[in-house]
Structure 1
Amino acid sequence: MFEVEDLAIEQGGRTLWQGLTLRIKAGERLGLSAPSGFGKTTLGRVLAGWQPLADPGRVRLDGEPLPARGYNPVQLVPQHPELCFNPRRSTGQSLWDVWQPDETMLARFLVNPEWLSRKPGQLSGGELARIALLRALDPRTRVLIADEVTAQLDPRIQRQLWQELIRECETRGLGILVFSHQQALLRQVCHRVIFHGEGRDEAFNMLSDDAA
């Protein structure tokens, strides 16, 4: 169980989040929709440990605070995937620093092995997004924060990637927090969706086998 309790985040003298509470069970997909500028990206960075949290006890996994060092089992795939890579190293080096997915895993997430010999600046945003997503799916990852992770991709590729992510949820109990402006996508891939700033929290059924 991933738990966020009464979380407050301020940035630049502005309160972005106040009293945020959410829970994600193993294998659950929770969607979060909010207008631009409401702090979804900052929230993702804080929850994944990219930015410090004033009270780390408010964010817990299985009742324990997230580790201050070593691999964080809560991983973020940001809206701008180039942030996951060192521009002076190949994308493969950045991937293999974390784990080494096999050819089957590359194929499932539509990553061309040739891309791994190239530096980030030699790939498109959509290509980088797929490698960043694969990098975050290290077997140690328990919760994935997906910030508009498929927004740069065409519908066919979006569909396949979400089918594979749902498969990861179901086979390994991966929890996913999905940030997206695409409310139709959230309704299709998430068990629940929180509409921040709209005063409602709606629950949806799980995907059927042919939905995506």
Structure 2
Amino acid sequence: MKQFIDFIPLLLFFIVYKMEPRVVELAGHSLSVGGIFSATAVLIVASVAVYGTLFALQRKLEKGQWLTLIACLVFGSLTLAFHSETFLKWKAPVVNWLFAVAFAGSHFIGDKPLIQRVMGHAMELPQAIWNRLNVAWVAFFLFCGCANLFVAFTFQSIWVDFKVFGSLAMTVLFLIGQGLYLARHLHDTSPEKTKD
């Protein structure tokens, strides 16, 4: 459910981006709808609404949600202020690379890798498996950042499609791979084996 809620602003961005540009009247004001700049405005408003609602209901946001919201506000605002989509093209790579840095840094800061802090309440695994899984997340975020950057500046006609659906597909495939990897090691969590 949480992943769907996080996906709402991006989905609205995609819908508005794909609309034929037109002028609509809203509360006595003429607004241009369709294309990258109105889609960016919708992304900002939707992100503030979604994460603001989550914050009001839960009295907190996860660190990843804060990062996503701040990146959306910074890169989206720069896109609108300078009327250049280049800023928005850098959002996904930068966010992915910041997640990679956070996962990598957790090997040196704190007592557990970040993936263990996120998933440790749900399962027990040997420490070596947690470490490998955390490194896999680092590699995944580095790859996603590079892939987003490459597509955004090389295949400009499809970068929004890739940003929405390509990134989602990569995440789903990675999670399936993670699930298969974890399934092989869950039997190693008996008390006798975790002592080794």
The answer to whether the superposition gives a TM-score over 0.5 is no
Identify the structure with the greater helix proportion: 2
TM-score by length of 2: 0.30
| Structure with more contact order per residue of length (Cα contacts < 8 Å, sep ≥ 6) | 1
Identify the structure with the greater strand proportion: 1
TM-score by length of 1: 0.29
